[in-house]
Amino acid sequence: MKITVLCIGRRSQEDYISAVQTYTDRLQGSYKLSWVLLASCALEPTKAKQIESDAIRAKLKPNDTTWLLDERGQQISSPELSSKLQTLKNTGISRLVIIIGGAYGVDDSLRNSVTWQWSLSKLVFPHQMVRLILAEQLYRADQIDRGSAYHHALVYLSVTD
């Protein structure tokens, strides 16, 4: 299954790009994950939301399954995410599009047209961090599905004087 992430915003700092790429590369055996960065608008919020939402709609295909990352969306656990992805994979959908809107979100028309609205947290994160958290959670969900120890792996640090 292909997963395309449509992001409104600027190019991330190099350390974020490297970390996101690490998880993207790790997923390639299970999902073809790609990232599409769309320009943000420096206009008043209502106009910016409209222009950015139109840019997102222009990238969508009629048969896409669409998830919107939104602070008002549903919060789920990593195992629940794994299950949702596995269900999509099993139903044979060809492309899941995950949308990360701009600083002011997306317009109501786009919000109401998506398949599912998902909240990573009640907290607000910088867009660069959202991309990294999303990449890691997609990888974690895949590892849960595979029965890997990654989800519960503990790292023990040894502190010496």
Q: What is the pLDDT of residues 41-100, one digit of tens each?
A: 988 999 999 999 999 999 999 999 999 999 999 999 999 999 999 999 999 999 999 999
Q: Is 104 helix (H, G, I), strand (E, B) or coil?
A: coil
Nearest-angstrom CA–CA distance, 50 and 57? 10
Q: What is the pLDDT of residues 135-158, one digit of tens each?
A: 999 999 999 999 987 776 544 445
What is the reported pLDDT for 29? 87
What is the reported pLDDT for 49? 95
CA distances from 33 to 19, 23, 101, 109, 128 (A): 14, 9, 18, 26, 17
Planar angle of CA 11, 110, 77, nearest 5 degrees: 70
Question: What value does the mean pLDDT take over residues 4-24?
Answer: 92
- When pLDDT is cut at 50, 70 and 90, the band that residue 11 belongs to is confident
CATH class of 2-152: alpha beta
Does residue 12 surpass a pLDDT of 80?
A: no
What is the reported pLDDT for 160? 57
Does residue 30 surpass a pLDDT of 60?
A: yes
Q: How far apart are the first and last CA of the chain?
A: 49
